[in-house]
Structure 1
Amino acid sequence: MPLPQSPLTPAGPQAARVFELGTLFFWMCLAVLVAIVLATLWALWRAPKGDARTPAPGSMGEEPGRRRAVSVALGLSIAGLLVLIAASVFTDRALARLPLQGALHVELTGHQWWWEARYDDAEPSRVFTTANELHIPVGRPVIVTLQGTDVIHSLWLPSLAGKKDLIPGRTATLTLQADRAGSYRGQCAEFCGLQHAWMALEVVAEDPVAFDAWAQSQRQPAADPTEPQRLRGREVFMGSTCAMCHAIEGTDAAGRQAPPLTHVGSQRTLAAGRLPNTPEHMASWITDPQAHKPGVNMPAHAFSREDLQALVAYLQGLK
């Protein structure tokens, strides 16, 4: 089922402010459009008919009325622009006034083409990292620190907040809050390469108790497999190039060039929203990622059928 991805369905105070400003702009621009159309029709109706010649400038009855019309139009235009400027300033200030007491801090890094989310905590042992899914508690402000590692990316969470660029070498901050539970789709809104369109971020807003339980589970290392097939799958993973790029907490795999896989089996999608997270799609993704996401850095792997099945069973069990 597609996730909500529309600024017309705000689910938090930041998005609500943006929606209100957008609504004001829409109605005022519509009023201007209607006024222009009516003025054009009136001018056409008043235009000379047949062989009538255009009156010379300054002729009786023309200049005073025209000057009044121009003055009124100019005054209304200036007033409308001032209203829009004031509304934009007040909205910007309102966005900056979101109470931040007890805020959750997340560092979000944009890569080609996936998202890395690092949940900060005053206690280092409670810090953990996930990829392509951002879980947040309902009713609690979230401070997202944005960074880019390669090219310029842009985070857009239409139902929760506005857009913010991720520029390599710079740090930006985005504050947001979800007022109701649900899953919302985010998207890179800055063209960042071949697979820009497939750089999605799922934001899961959940009850604070459920969020705390999820966060606690994410802090745990990967459980040791007990089934023979999954044990074989771990051997395949550790003996291949997979362990050079991916990290699985609790194992010797500590790569930082690709999404962490410690709890990959619990995620809804693969490859930043490109594929549903099913055994069939995972096997296809491992075998030939270029077929699904051309240009991705992940190489193809030619595992035997038995080793591929074992590897998929191991990864799907990381929950």
Structure 2
Amino acid sequence: MRNPWLWALLVAGLTACNAEQSTLHVFGAEARAVRQMALVLTIGAVLIVAIMVMLYVRAVRAPEGRLSHDGGMRMVLWLGAIGPTLILTALLIYALPAMRPRATAPGDLTIRVDGEQFWWRVAYDPAGDLSPLLSANEVRIPVGRTVIFELTARDVIHSFWIPGLAGKMDMIPGRTNRLVVQAEKPGRFRGICAEFCGLSHALMAFDVVAMDGADFDAWMARSRAASTGVTASRGARLFDAHGCGGCHAIRGTPHDADIGPDLSRFGERPTLGAGILPPTPANVAAFIRSPQVAKPGARMPAYPQISAADALAIADYLKGLK
């Protein structure tokens, strides 16, 4: 390795290559504006550093007596003070308008997200008299429409961050913060908690699905219906017998508790445990019996008394909810 600095630069550049979770791979108007602002500010900083380097080189290499005292003072004044001040003022004038939040209208979609240890409670509040649509660990948004996130927390401070969509926003117990965004292209992306919140802080992610407007409306209408797969199966009976309905809700059943994540259409979710595991029946069964193994500090109690076969039956039942 002849040039370690070049290799270090290349490795650092690779850290921004993740298309699902990257501030450089943007899919929202706010993230695009932040990326553009960062580029402009970086150019301004490089320009100021270049001026300082020019002054240094001129001072070191200039022959003795070539530069008079008055000439040197003028150079320092213009290149060391007035020039950088003008550059910084121009950057400030450019950045201030870009920091204004996006305007909202009464009919905009509102999505309430509560951070919990260590998962995400999601509620879609549509315009009109419809009741909120509940979900967990997944956020779906329509492309080209303004979306208002109302963010809070129920236990400790969390931080809601979708790198490709917008900047971070703290989630503080007892307070609701608003984040206004607009997705520009469809796709599946990743969001994370950006504030240390406990043992499983790093195991607290969520999926972000940006959808075409018509597809989003169809998904909302379909999701309001009762989950299919709600049958009197052995797994359903075990779900009832072990009291799982005391914490979890499933649309189309008597279970409507809101202590834990809503499990309606659980079979359609691409991950288990807020983005940490593939939702295979074996993983679901293991999570039911001992969630702290996969997610230390999780508030869901362990159920070692449930046999492996019974846990697998419950997992099969949940996987069938669509």
Q: Same fold (TM over 0.5)?
A: yes
Counterpart of 1:90 (choices 93, 97, 119) is 97
Larger deviation, residues 84-93 vs 115-124: 115-124
Contact residue 188 and residue 210 of structure 2 kept, 8 A: yes
Counterpart of 1:30 (choices 46, 60, 67) is 46
Contact residue 117 and residue 130 of structure 1 kept, 8 A: yes
Distance 1:60 1:217 in 2: 80
Matched, 1:145 2:139: no
The one-letter code of the counterpart of 1:71 is L
- Aligned CA RMSD, in angstroms, stands at 2.3
Task: Please list every run of at least 4 consecutive aligned residues from structure 1 whose deviation after the TM superposition is greater than 6 angstroms.
Answer: none
For 2:99, what is the secondary structure of its paired residue? Answer: helix
Residue 305 of structure 1 corresponds to 308
Contact residue 126 and residue 219 of structure 1 kept, 8 A: no
Counterpart of 1:63 (choices 37, 61, 69) is 69
* 1:80–1:241 distance in 2 versus 1, CA, 3 Å: farther
Distance 1:42 1:176 in 2: 48
Offset at residue 71 of structure 1 (A):
0.8
Residue 27 of structure 2 corresponds to 11
Distance 2:123 2:63 in 1: 67
* 1:35–1:283 distance in 2 versus 1, CA, 3 Å: farther
Matched, 1:162 2:151: no
Contact residue 3 and residue 185 of structure 1 kept, 8 A: no
Distance 1:304 1:61 in 2: 88
* 1:116–1:183 distance in 2 versus 1, CA, 3 Å: same
The one-letter code of the counterpart of 1:65 is G
TM-score, length of structure 1 as denominator length: 0.87
Residue 112 of structure 2 corresponds to 107
Distance 1:26 1:259 in 2: 42
Offset at residue 47 of structure 1 (A):
8.8
Q: Deviations over 1:246-288 (max 9, x none)?
A: 2112223232221110111111111111112222221222222
Residue 56 of structure 1 corresponds to none
* 1:47–1:316 distance in 2 versus 1, CA, 3 Å: farther
Identity %: 39
For 2:46, what is the secondary structure of its paired residue? Answer: helix
Residue 253 of structure 1 corresponds to 255
The one-letter code of the counterpart of 1:201 is F
Distance 1:262 1:295 in 2: 24
Distance 1:301 1:45 in 2: 76
The residue correspondences of 1:1-319 to structure 2 (distance < 5 A) are 4-46=20-62, 61-72=67-78, 73-93=80-100, 95-97=101-103, 100=105, 102-223=107-228, 225-226=230-231, 231-302=233-304, 303-319=306-322
Q: Which runs of 5+ in 2 are unaligned?
A: 1-17
Offset at residue 7 of structure 1 (A):
1.9
Offset at residue 23 of structure 1 (A):
1.0
Offset at residue 181 of structure 1 (A):
0.8
The one-letter code of the counterpart of 1:259 is P
Offset at residue 310 of structure 1 (A):
0.8
Offset at residue 60 of structure 1 (A):
9.6
Offset at residue 143 of structure 1 (A):
1.1
Q: Which runs of 5+ in 1 are unaligned?
A: 49-58
Contact residue 236 and residue 317 of structure 2 kept, 8 A: yes
Contact residue 270 and residue 277 of structure 1 kept, 8 A: yes
The one-letter code of the counterpart of 1:137 is P
Q: Deviations over 1:138-184 (max 9, x none)?
A: 11111111112112212111211112111111111111111111012
* 1:105–1:274 distance in 2 versus 1, CA, 3 Å: same
Offset at residue 206 of structure 1 (A):
1.0
Offset at residue 132 of structure 1 (A):
0.9
Offset at residue 299 of structure 1 (A):
2.1
Contact residue 14 and residue 162 of structure 1 kept, 8 A: yes
Offset at residue 74 of structure 1 (A):
0.6
Residue 13 of structure 2 corresponds to none
